[in-house]
Structure formats: structure tokens, C-alpha cells
Amino acid sequence: MTKSKIHGKCSRTFLLLTLTGAVSSVLICNSGQASELTLSASEEGATIHELTGEGANQKLVPIGKTPMTIKDADSSETKLYKIEKPGFATVYIPITSRMKANTSIAVTLKKNQEWAPSDIEKRSLETAEEIVDQVYSIQSLLDSRKTAEAMAMAETLRGLHPSSFSVRLVYANALLVSGEVNKAQSLYTSLITEIPPGRASMKSSIQKIINRLSGGRSTASSNSREGTN
């Protein structure tokens, strides 16, 4: 399990926990003047990328190596960084709230072979909590039009937890927003048969998406949000 520390004069902080390398982080601060974001990792020299651009022009751009301090990092928009080093699990850091204090995030990188299935099974409860956090982060990225990175995170999570309903649902949302309409429709159709009694609202939402896709009237962003409400 990756443990990452957040430092700063914040009203709330969230410990970053991950088995997959996809990190969910939300920073909500209320004091000080935000100007710097420091990213560091247990392995120095890991490459830091930042997602830039809009829509089809989105791309991950390398901006430096760990440790690194980013000046004037505060923004009202969602920011997403990727930290990677060969042989280690890639870490994604979405920051979904405006920073109001200088902030440091320290990430512990884990070697790829440390993510063995037997290791994951021993921490099923922690895994379930992480899945919820990561599904939320992916949907937040989709809502912010960070489509390329949302898809990358969804595919990573789906590879590790292929039987999880929530993971497959957010993956279907990512497919839809990415324009993979046929694949999304097929997955939604499969998911709707697995919804247990008592979840009529969810079943109705997904059925509406399927109906719109079948009728050729889909609107990707609104459809994907319906399925997660």
C-alpha cells in the first residue's frame, strides 16, 4: 500500500493510499497564500508529467524530476500530475480543489512486482476503500474533461479489479466520453443485468443511457454522469 503525506496549512487533508499507483487526492485549505506545490517521491529522479490542453489536444507533458517545486501552482481548475519511474507503479495525483496554502506531497513508489494478487487479497477492506476513492477520482476527471487521463486510470483499475461493478461502470463512462460508444453500450447492457433488487434508481439511470445510445441520441458527458448518480 502506498502511503503519501500531505503537508500544508489545510483545514482537511487526505492520506493518499493506493494499491494500483492511481492516487486519489483532494486538498481543501483555508489559510495562507498558495504559490508552491512540492512533489517528491521515495525514489529520486522519477519523472513528473502534467496534463495540459483541452479535449482531443490533451497530453501529458514532462515538467521535471522528483523532487520538484512548482511555482504559482494554485488554480481553480483541476490539476493532474503523473509520477513515473521504470520498474515502479505509476502514480497519478489529481488535485480537485483550489489550494490556499503552500503544499507538499510525498509519494512512496512501489516496485511493480510488489503488487502480487496474494498481497492484494490480504487487504480486501483497504482495497475496497481505495476502489471507491479511485472511482470518484476518475469520474471527477471525466467531469473536468480530462478524458485521456481518466481513461488511463480506468484501464489500470479495471485490469486489477475486473469483477468490481463500480470499476466497470466508471470504465463504461470513460469509454462513452472517449467516443467508444459501441463498447460502452455493450458494457452498460451487461452491467444492468447485475444490479441487485432495491437499486431501481441506478437501474433506471443506466437503462436511460442504453436507450439513448440505441436511439442515437447520446450526449457523452451528461450520459456518463447519469450512470453514477
In this structure, the answer to whether residues 86 and 103 fall within a common structural domain is yes
Domain boundary among 114, 133, 165: 114
DSSP secondary structure string, the chain?
A: -EEEEEESSEEE---EEESSSB--B--EE-SS---EEEEEESSTT-EEEEEESSGGG-EEEEEEESSEEEET---SS-EEEEEE-TTB--EEEEE-S---S-EEEEE---BGGG--HHHHHTTHHHHHHHHHHHHHHHHHHHHTT-HHHHHHHHHHHHHH-TT-HHHHHHHHHHHHHTT-HHHHHHHHHHHHTTPPTT-HHHHHHHHHHHHHHHTT---HHHHHHHTT-
- Stronger pLDDT, 82 or 228, i.e. the higher one: 82
Percent of residues, the chain, with pLDDT higher than 90? 6
In this structure, the answer to whether residues 155 and 186 fall within a common structural domain is yes
Domain boundary among 79, 114, 149: 114
In this structure, the answer to whether residues 20 and 59 fall within a common structural domain is yes
In this structure, the answer to whether residues 145 and 72 fall within a common structural domain is no
In this structure, the answer to whether residues 93 and 126 fall within a common structural domain is no
What's the confidence (pLDDT) of residue 172? 92
User: pLDDT grade, residue 96 (50/70/90)?
Assistant: low
Longest alpha-carbon distance in the chain: 52
Q: How many CB atoms lie within 10 A of CB 13?
A: 16
Mean of pLDDT over the chain: 71
What's the confidence (pLDDT) of residue 187? 92
User: pLDDT grade, residue 35 (50/70/90)?
Assistant: low
CATH number, position 150: 1.25.40
What's the confidence (pLDDT) of residue 40? 82
In this structure, the answer to whether residues 68 and 133 fall within a common structural domain is no
In this structure, the answer to whether residues 156 and 216 fall within a common structural domain is yes
What's the confidence (pLDDT) of residue 49? 86
What's the confidence (pLDDT) of residue 7? 42
Q: Which domain holds residue 207?
A: 117-226
Residue-wise pLDDT for 106-128, tens only, equals: 887 777 655 444 454 444 545 56
In this structure, the answer to whether residues 64 and 96 fall within a common structural domain is yes
Residue-wise pLDDT for 189-200, tens only, equals: 999 888 877 788
Alpha-carbon distances of 65 from 74, 83, 86, 139, rounded to whole Å: 20, 9, 13, 28
What's the domain count of the chain?
2
Q: Which amino acid is at 215?
A: G
CATH number, position 55: 2.60.40
Domain boundary among 61, 85, 114: 114
In this structure, the answer to whether residues 87 and 152 fall within a common structural domain is no
In this structure, the answer to whether residues 18 and 97 fall within a common structural domain is yes
User: pLDDT grade, residue 10 (50/70/90)?
Assistant: very low
In this structure, the answer to whether residues 125 and 109 fall within a common structural domain is no
Residue-wise pLDDT for 51-78, tens only, equals: 877 766 777 888 889 888 887 666 556 6
In this structure, the answer to whether residues 73 and 125 fall within a common structural domain is no
86, pLDDT greater than 80: yes
